[in-house]
Amino acid sequence: MIASISPPLRTPPRLSVPYQHRTHTNIYGTPHRPLGLLLTMSLWLLLGGCAQIGHLFAVTESADLPVDRQQQAIVSRLKAIVEPELRDNLARILPAVRASLADQTNKIAKFKQGLVLRALTDPWDGLAAIEQAGLLAATAAESGVEGLPAVIDILEGGMDRTGAPFRPLIFPATLAREDVLGFIMEALEDAYQDREHALRHLSPQDREFIFTQARPLVERFSPQVTPPVHLADAEAAARYATLLMQQIDYASLISAAQRLARLGNRKFLQQLDIAFHKRNPIAQTVSGITGDLLLIEQTSYGLLVVGGRGPNTYDLDHGAALIIDLGGNDTYRGLVGASPNSDLGNSVVIDLSGNDLYQPAALGLATGRAGIGIVIDHSGDDTYRLAPGSGGVGLAGLGILYDGEGQDIYEGNRFTQGAAFGGFGLLVDRAGDDRYTSFGYALGFGAPLGVGALIDVSGNDSYECGGRYASAYNEAEAPQAQPHDAAFQYDCFGLGTGSGLRVFSKQPAQRAQSLAGGWGLFIDLDGRDRYHSDNFSQGHGYFFGLGVKLDLRGDDEHQAARYGHGTAAHFGVGLHIDYQDKDRYGSKGPFYNGGAAWDESVALAIDGGPASDFYDLPASTGLGMADLSGWGLFIEEGGADQYAVSRGLGLGADAGIGAFFDLDGRDDYSSVPAPTNGTHPERLNRKTYIENEGSIFIDR
């Protein structure tokens, strides 16, 4: 028989020591609005140059002192060097390109995001704001699990979304089990009320549609559809997005996620561990769960379980409101931090230690599906075998996967590892030499109205994306090629990629179903990392999407393919920055790498610092290219660099601006093909070349 805790849904449980909500105070000791709004305000003040990073963390609960990553910001600093050269050398075409980028006339797409429009209107201003938001999120992630509420605020702020004001609960002042459980129950109740408030305007039919439509979005999403094939999918996606924008109070979902993320606080979990330290395993059992259990309660919000310090198995066909496992090498299957239906919308799983195995169902791990899904694993060498729609995925909700310590393996599918459509998907890994793989639409992928982010704080990591979804380019460019032939292309859409849903049609009514892209963000803070990906990846924006990849430190290898390393197409925005150390760039090609923009897009690729880098791109074009009124820049800050590029190095065509800048160091261009018949000038040190009115090459 399972015991039951079922407090009235609108009345917190009666506790032996009453808990009082409190209002935080800022660094001046005066009350301010709650954490969510404060952080969003701090972010945008910072982006305007009027706040300091220390203000942000005055209200976090981390024992770790975060680094001020804003000191690394490079976009604004390089603008001061590069923009005068653009104005002086491309004086006639520059204003025309800027005007074309800013003009939204006849660019049909619903729900365009503010950061993208800002970058299209003023590339330098928008890209600087995007970089600063990314660095701010990196700082918050560095502070550990306690920084998750701040990461949520920063990234949701980039989508012009803020959480509803709330008063965070005070953590228990005693080690008494009833106080610890009382705190947990009140947190679950508050998050439940937040979700109910968020969905209160949805009819029962629309509520069920939002829940069930998440699966086809995950399984069938494509960046471009051509009617009549898949037009119904585009129409359903447009309905889904419209309900989110017009009927869901998303601010309350943000607040629910921030409340529940606080359950992962390390000091609180130490209290809970102590509170259950001398408790013997109970005799009660529950179907699908094996191993020692210290608590089983059936609550109004779902199942509540505290697992023991030995190995446990959790087969969760019906999910759970909250599982806290105190240790052991555990196995999780089914719905792990994910909702089983549209009624029970919030789910949290916290594992304190052990080498754990996660094998979730589809949409089944850290998946926010019209609600909140959170998985926090504090330590251990863990393996995540992720089905589609799992691993920090937001679908009209917020899905968060946090892994603290250990050398972890993330084996992905599609829509995994920080991905979102109409919501927030986040994966944060704080330490360890980790391995990430996925087929696509993953590793920091933002579909319409979504922000999907992957942040890895430290370790020598490996990232792979692609190898499954054949590219549409094969039919025209390599019709005889077979899978895995050198000429055969695959699509990735990952590693910091934002994509819209583009309905390619001559009929206005069909084009009107098009949805602007979301924000895909990838950040690796430290370590010698290896990146391997296929088409559309590593800082790519497609159809009003925003794609960002930031690597802050380490000798890295960036291997991509078509549209890789800071690229954009069809009104997108792409940013790729490697801030320092010795790096190598490669590509399978055949086109567009390193600051390449197509069709009124903005793209910037930067390699910072004085180290010497190698651009091994003989099979591709790139490094500062633009077509069809695009703005594509490549900037190498310093070092004795080596370039092996077949074509590009500052090339603009069809009213676009393509610019290449190497700002310091004696560089090697011997592997760049020599000019033939005067078709393009030779690239040399200490030279400036203007190949045409939209092209500029400068080596200082």
Q: What is the pLDDT of residues 414-423, one digit of tens each?
A: 999 999 999 9
Q: Is the pLDDT of residue 25 over 50?
A: no
The two structure tokens encoding residue 503: 């309905």
Q: Is the pLDDT of residue 48 over 90?
A: no
Question: 688 to each of 630, 674, 682, how far by Cα in Å?
Answer: 21, 16, 10
User: Residue 577: what are its φ and ψ, rounded to 5°?
Assistant: -135, 125
Q: Is the pLDDT of residue 20 over 80?
A: no
Identity (one letter) of the amino acid at 592? Answer: Y
| Residue owning tokens 């999910």 | 319
Bridge-based pairing of strands 313-316 and 289-290 is antiparallel
Per the model's pLDDT, the better-predicted residue between 388 and 69 turns out to be 388
Whether the Cβ atoms of residue 351 and residue 239 lie closer than 8 Å to each other: no
How far is residue 542's CA from residue 522's CA, in Å, rounded to a whole number?
16
How far is residue 9's CA from residue 156's CA, in Å, rounded to a whole number?
28
Print the SS3 string covering 92-109.
CHHHHHHHHHHCCCCCCC
Of 387, 380, 340, the C-alpha closest to 360 is 387
Whether the Cβ atoms of residue 50 and residue 182 lie closer than 8 Å to each other: no
Which residues have a Cβ under 8 Å from the Cβ of 23 and sit 6 or more positions away? Answer: 31, 32, 34, 167
| Least confident interval from 24-28, 229-233, 238-242, 522-526 | 24-28
Q: Is the pLDDT of residue 194 over 90?
A: yes
Q: Is the pLDDT of residue 699 over 90?
A: yes
| DSSP E strand stretches across 300-423 | 302-307, 313-316, 322-325, 331-338, 346-351, 357-369, 372-377, 383-385, 393-395, 398-403, 409-411, 419-421
Of 243, 220, 549, the C-alpha closest to 415 is 220
Q: What is the CA radius of gyration of the chain?
A: 25
Confidence of residue 678 (pLDDT cuts 50, 70, 90): low
How far is residue 694's CA from residue 129's CA, in Å, rounded to a whole number?
26
The two structure tokens encoding residue 7: 């407090």
C-alpha neighbours within 13 Å on the C-beta side of residue 362 = 10
pLDDT per residue over 279-288, tens digit each?
999 999 999 9
Q: What is the pLDDT of residue 5?
A: 35
Question: 173 to each of 7, 60, 167, 170, 271, how far by Cα in Å?
Answer: 22, 18, 17, 8, 9
Q: What is the pLDDT of residue 39?
A: 44
Q: What is the pLDDT of residue 677?
A: 64
Which residues have a Cβ under 8 Å from the Cβ of 564 and sit 6 or more positions away? Answer: 533, 535, 536, 537, 538, 540, 558, 587, 592, 593, 594
| DSSP E strand stretches across 215-255 | 224-225
How far is residue 191's CA from residue 117's CA, in Å, rounded to a whole number?
33
How far is residue 625's CA from residue 352's CA, in Å, rounded to a whole number?
49
Q: What is the pLDDT of residue 181?
A: 96
Q: Is the pLDDT of residue 473 over 50?
A: yes
How far is residue 348's CA from residue 306's CA, in Å, rounded to a whole number?
12
C-alpha neighbours within 13 Å on the C-beta side of residue 330 = 33
Q: Is the pLDDT of residue 41 over 50?
A: no
Question: 437 to each of 331, 379, 587, 642, how far by Cα in Å?
Answer: 20, 21, 18, 29
Q: What is the pLDDT of residue 626?
A: 98
Q: What is the pLDDT of residue 45?
A: 37
Confidence of residue 167 (pLDDT cuts 50, 70, 90): very high
How far is residue 184's CA from residue 375's CA, in Å, rounded to a whole number?
16
Per the model's pLDDT, the better-predicted residue between 54 and 253 turns out to be 253
Confidence of residue 311 (pLDDT cuts 50, 70, 90): very high
pTM (whole model) above 0.85:
yes
Q: What is the pLDDT of residue 679?
A: 66
Number of H helices, E strands in the chain: 14, 44
Whole-number percent of the chain with pLDDT over 70: 90
The two structure tokens encoding residue 306: 């505290």
| DSSP E strand stretches across 264-321 | 289-290, 293-299, 302-307, 313-316
Dihedral angle, C-alpha 36, 37, 40, 43, nearest 10 °: -110
Q: DSSP 3-state assignment of 329?
A: coil
Of 542, 555, 567, the C-alpha closest to 621 is 567
The two structure tokens encoding residue 149: 């509420």
Q: Is the pLDDT of residue 185 over 50?
A: yes
Compute the average pLDDT of residues 88-92.
Answer: 96
Q: What is the pLDDT of residue 278?
A: 87
Q: What is the pLDDT of residue 32?
A: 31
Q: Is the pLDDT of residue 579 over 60?
A: yes
* Residues linked to residue 530 through DSSP beta bridges, in sequence order: 462, 557
Helices 148-158 and 35-47 meet at what angle, rounded to 10? 50
Mean pLDDT taken over the chain:
90
Q: Is the pLDDT of residue 646 over 90?
A: no
Confidence of residue 680 (pLDDT cuts 50, 70, 90): confident
Compute the average pLDDT of residues 180-184.
Answer: 97
Q: What is the pLDDT of residue 24?
A: 32
Compute the average pLDDT of residues 645-664.
Answer: 96
Enumerate the domain spans of the chain.
4-76+147-272
C-alpha neighbours within 13 Å on the C-beta side of residue 659 = 26
| Residue owning tokens 């918050």 | 140
Per the model's pLDDT, the better-predicted residue between 247 and 45 turns out to be 247
Which residues have a Cβ under 8 Å from the Cβ of 481 and sit 6 or more positions away? Answer: 474, 487, 488
Q: What is the pLDDT of residue 67?
A: 63
Peptide bond into 228 cis (omega under 30): yes
Whether the Cβ atoms of residue 553 and residue 580 lie closer than 8 Å to each other: yes
How far is residue 368's CA from residue 422's CA, in Å, rounded to a whole number?
10
Of 56, 60, 83, the C-alpha closest to 69 is 56
Of 207, 210, 230, the C-alpha closest to 220 is 230
How far is residue 391's CA from residue 77's CA, in Å, rounded to a whole number?
36
| Residue owning tokens 């320092």 | 580
Of 698, 694, 685, the C-alpha closest to 657 is 694
Q: What is the pLDDT of residue 682?
A: 80
| Residue owning tokens 């927030």 | 424
Dihedral angle, C-alpha 603, 609, 613, 618, nearest 10 °: 10
For the stretch 257-293, what's the b/e string if a residue is b when 16 or more beta carbons lie within 10 angstroms of its beta carbon?
bbbbbbbbbbebbebbbebbeeeeeeeeeeeebebbb
Bridge-based pairing of strands 631-636 and 435-438 is unpaired
Q: What is the pLDDT of residue 22?
A: 32
Q: Is the pLDDT of residue 27 over 50?
A: no
Per the model's pLDDT, the better-predicted residue between 11 and 169 turns out to be 169
How far is residue 187's CA from residue 88's CA, in Å, rounded to a whole number?
59
Compute the average pLDDT of residues 125-145.
Answer: 97
Q: DSSP 3-state assignment of 4?
A: strand
